[in-house]
Amino acid sequence: MKKLALFVLVLAAAAGAVAYVASTRLNEPFRGYATDDQLVTIPTGASTRTIGNTLIGAGVIRDEITYRLALWVSGDARRLQAGDYRFDHPMTPRDVLGKIARGEVDTVAITFPEGLTIAEMAKIFESHGFGPAAAFVQAAHDPSLVRPMDAAAQDLEGYVFPDTYAVPRRTDAAGLIHLMVERFEHVLTPELRQAAADHGWSVRQLVTLASIVEKETAQAVERPRVAAVYANRLKIGMALQCDPTVIYALERVKRFNGNLRRDDLAFDSPYNTYRYPGLPPGPIASPGKASLEAAAHPADTDSLYFVSRNDGTHEFARSLEEHNRNVQKYQVQYFRARRAAESRH
C-alpha cells in the first residue's frame, strides 16, 4: 500500500508539474524575433501544421508543443484565417491564435485625394505596391457596380470615392474598387439623391456637376456658389465653358501637357463645354462629399460668372459687363503687374 501511495503521489506531482508548465507556456508572452516587428503570411488553405510551423519559424510561438497545446485549449483550429499578420510585441500563444482566428490582418492605409481621375488614382494604387496601375484602370472600367443608379455608365469615373482606406496588403484592384464604390453609395445619401431629382437631374448629372465643382475650387465656402453658376447656366441654356472639362478631354487622348492654350478650347470632344452645351457626358473626376452636397444644394444666387483672384479664391459676377471688369482686374492687370515686377529683377 505504501508503494502504491508513493506512486500515486509521484504521479500527482508529475501531473501537477506538467499542468504548471502547460499553464506557464499558455499564459507567458513570447517574442522570438529580433526585429521591431514580424510579418507572418498564412497562405490560403494552409493546414494547422503548416500554420504552426510558420508561426514557430517566425518566432511568434515558442515551439510545437506550445502551439499544439494552445490550439487544443483555444479550440481555434477550424477558425484560423489566411492573410498577412503583423506582430510587434510579446504575445501569449492563445492571443496569437486568437488574432489569426479573428482575421486581424495587417492593413495598409492608402489615400486618394478629391478631384482625381481614374488614371491618377491608378498611379497611387501602384505606388503603394498593390499592383500595376493598369489593373486598377481595368477594374474601374467595369460599370456593373453602378448599373442600379447609373444605367448609362461606361466606366466608374466619378464613382470611386476619394478617401483613406485601410486595406489588407494583398488587396487587389477589383477588391479596392468595390470598397470605393460602396463608400460612394454610402456618401450619396437618399437625401442627396432626392435633391438631385428635385432639380430634375439624374445621379449621373449630379455627380458630373459635383466633379466640375471639385475641379474648379478647393474653397469649401465657394463650392455652393460655383455649383450655382453652372446650375444657372444650365437653366438658361448657356454654355458652361468650363476649363477642367477641356483638360479632361485632352487628357483622355494624352494631348494635355499642363498648359491649356486658347486653341485647345476648340478641341472637338463631347467633354468640351466650350463647343457643346449642357453638362459633359459624365464625371471628369471623383468628387468628395462637400462637392456632392454643393451640387445638390447650389447657393441661392444669380451669378453666371467667376474668375480666379490668383490666391485660390474667385470673384463672382452676375453680368458679363461685371465679369469683364473682374477679368481686367484679376487677370490682365494682375499678370501685367507681375511681368513688370519680374522684369525689374
How many Å apart are CA 184 and CA 43, to the nearest integer?
32
In a domain, 85, yes or no: yes
Q: With pLDDT > 90 as the criterion, what percentage of the chain qualifies? A: 85
Shared domain for 173 and 74, answered yes or no, is no
Shared domain for 179 and 206, answered yes or no, is no
Q: Which of 10-14, 122-126, 341-345 has the lowest mean pLDDT?
A: 10-14
Average pLDDT over residues 332-344: 77
Shared domain for 182 and 194, answered yes or no, is no
- Whether 7 shows a pLDDT value over 50: the answer reads no
Average pLDDT over residues 46-71: 95
Q: How many domains does the chain have?
A: 3
Shared domain for 181 and 93, answered yes or no, is no
Shared domain for 143 and 70, answered yes or no, is no
Shared domain for 117 and 183, answered yes or no, is yes
How many secondary structure helices (H) and strands (E) does the chain include? Answer: 14, 6
Q: What angle do CA 156, 208, 134 make, to 5 degrees?
A: 25
- CA-CA-CA-CA torsion sign (105, 106, 111, 116): negative
How many other CB atoms are there within 10 angstroms of residue 96's CB atom? 23
Give the three-class secondary structure for 312: coil
Q: Which residue has the cell 492608402?
A: 110
How many Å apart are CA 255 and CA 76, to the nearest integer?
57
DSSP 189-210: -HHHHHHHHHTT--HHHHHHHH
Shared domain for 174 and 213, answered yes or no, is no
In a domain, 62, yes or no: yes
- Whether 1 shows a pLDDT value over 90: the answer reads no
In a domain, 322, yes or no: no
Q: Give me the residues paired with residue 30 across strands.
A: 91
- Whether 47 shows a pLDDT value over 60: the answer reads yes
In a domain, 342, yes or no: no
In a domain, 325, yes or no: no
How many Å apart are CA 215 and CA 230, to the nearest integer?
13
> What is the model's pLDDT at position 15?
42
Average pLDDT over residues 17-44: 81
In a domain, 324, yes or no: no
> What is the model's pLDDT at position 335?
80
Q: Which secondary-structure segment (H or E) carries 221?
A: none
> What is the model's pLDDT at position 175?
96
Distances (CA, A) of 93 to 47, 59, 61, 167: 17, 11, 6, 26
How many Å apart are CA 250 and CA 270, to the nearest integer?
11
Report residue 169's pLDDT band, with 50, 70 and 90 as the boundaries.
confident
Average pLDDT over residues 269-281: 96
> What is the model's pLDDT at position 6?
47
